[in-house]
């Protein structure tokens, strides 16, 4: 996270750069490729930022800023338009590119993971200008650049419209915690996630898309579901969800289907932000803290073993969507589209009934 790599706005921490070099060296030996995530990474209601990126007078409801594991007073500074943040962002990116661009273990650079959950831009133009600048620097290095948005960027109007990034990034992903989707009835219904992914494609326009899913099953604290923290899914539900999702996404033109976490957390990590209030996030790994497969991991292993080739044809829904009109009319527009998609499409491989 940014607070670890850049504690001051004037220099990137050399020890962290050596850590990253060691990680990439190990990845090369294991024939694994890495996508480093830059800048804002939203985890639950928290974002990890260095001290200079915190505005002590701008505390935001529902957003906690963490530095060195401690929740700080205040809120995030505007990384998209604040001159200091722009300067620091360029320094971080250029330092990483100068050391690791072209590395065989770097698959791409991701400009952020669901950034608008904790740091939404004040203006859409600020975000697109920032993304254009940062993505351009990555592309000039010869590497691929991506951006991972959140479900809220499709379901709410918060300044991160997917279509604005077509032509800026090489791939646009969306991160989804399916327990939090509320289109249909009950849990889990892969159809909810598939609908969201296809709507995301329609809004994204002419750019490759991928889907990251975050499912919490049977590990950790066993929290009960709540509107803020959805709790845990049963093993049977996770397996059903994973199978349906795999079949549908391989046919809809997503270039990637990923799971968010490798290991479940334990010990002090469960009591630290964000898990202190989002306890299910401690249980989203495909492996337990002791390296045993979780319920979600077992379902995911089946996907990995039987991975299907992605069909070249994209399958957005609806095919011709006016993004401005859609965002002007949410949430009603989302509900109407979901009802339209759900009815009369039972023969579609991308729907689960």
Residue 293 buriedness (CB in 10 A; 0-12 / 13-18 / 19+):
middle
Contact 162, 172 (CB under 8 A): yes
- Nearest-angstrom CA–CA distance, 183 and 241: 15
Q: How much is the pLDDT for 31?
A: 92
User: Six-digit token pair at 140?
Assistant: 């000039």
- Nearest CA to 6 out of 79, 76, 95 is that of 95
**Strands, E, within the chain: which ranges?**
37-43, 46-48, 54-55, 64-67, 70-72, 75-76, 109-113, 145-150, 171-176, 208-213, 256-259, 261-263, 285-287
CA atoms within 13 A on the CB side of 91: 17
Q: How much is the pLDDT for 185?
A: 53
pLDDT (tens place) for every residue of the chain, 353 residues total: 898 999 899 999 999 999 999 999 999 999 989 999 999 999 888 899 999 999 888 777 788 888 887 888 888 899 999 999 999 999 999 999 999 999 999 999 999 999 999 988 989 999 999 999 999 999 999 999 999 999 999 998 888 899 999 899 999 999 988 877 766 555 557 888 888 989 999 999 888 888 888 888 765 444 444 555 656 777 778 888 888 887 777 667 666 777 878 888 888 888 888 888 888 888 888 888 888 888 888 888 877 776 655 555 567 888 889 999 999 999 999 999 998 988 855 444 443 33
- Nearest-angstrom CA–CA distance, 117 and 177: 13
- Nearest-angstrom CA–CA distance, 286 and 300: 7
Per-position DSSP letters for 39-77, written without gaps between them = EEEEETTEEE--GGGEETT---TT-EEEETTEEESSEE-
- Nearest-angstrom CA–CA distance, 60 and 66: 13
- Nearest CA to 150 out of 181, 174, 119 is that of 174
- Ramachandran assignment for 159, one of left (phi > 0), alpha (psi -120 to 50 degrees), beta (any other): left
- Nearest-angstrom CA–CA distance, 328 and 308: 37
């Amino acid at each position: 996270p940014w607070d670890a790599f850049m504690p001051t706005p004037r220099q990137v921490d050399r020890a962290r750069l050596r850590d990253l070099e060691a990680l990439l060296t190990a990845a090369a030996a294991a024939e694994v490729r890495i996508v480093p995530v830059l800048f804002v990474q939203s985890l639950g209601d928290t974002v990890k930022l260095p001290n200079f990126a915190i505005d002590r007078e701008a505390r935001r409801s529902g957003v906690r800023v963490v530095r060195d594991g401690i929740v700080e007073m205040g809120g995030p500074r505007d990384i998209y338009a604040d001159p200091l943040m722009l300067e620091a962002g360029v320094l971080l990116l250029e330092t990483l590119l100068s050391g690791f661009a072209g590395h065989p273990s770097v698959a791409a650079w991701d400009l952020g993971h669901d950034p608008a959950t904790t740091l939404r831009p004040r203006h859409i133009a600020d975000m697109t200008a920032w993304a254009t600048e940062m993505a351009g620097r990555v592309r000039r290095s010869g590497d691929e650049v991506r951006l991972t948005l959140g479900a809220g960027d499709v379901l709410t109007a918060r300044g991160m419209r997917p279509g604005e990034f077509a032509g800026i990034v090489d791939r646009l992903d969306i991160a989804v915690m399916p327990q939090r989707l509320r289109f249909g009835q009950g849990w889990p219904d892969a159809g909810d996630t598939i609908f969201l992914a296809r709507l995301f494609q329609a809004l994204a326009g002419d750019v490759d898309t991928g889907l990251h899913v975050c499912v919490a099953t049977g590990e950790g604290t066993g929290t009960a579901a709540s509107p803020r923290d959805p709790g845990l899914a049963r093993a049977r539900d996770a397996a059903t969800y994973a199978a349906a999702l795999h079949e549908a996404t391989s046919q809809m033109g997503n270039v990637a289907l990923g799971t968010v976490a490798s290991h479940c957390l334990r010990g002090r990590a469960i009591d630290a932000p964000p898990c202190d209030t989002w306890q299910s996030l401690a249980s989203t790994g495909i492996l337990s803290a002791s390296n045993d497969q979780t319920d979600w991991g077992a379902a995911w292993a089946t996907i990995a073993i039987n991975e299907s080739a992605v069909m070249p044809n994209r399958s957005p829904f609806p095919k011709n969507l006016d993004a401005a009109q859609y965002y002007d009319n949410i949430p009603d527009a989302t509900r109407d589209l979901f009802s339209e998609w759900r009815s009369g499409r039972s023969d579609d491989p991308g729907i689960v009934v």
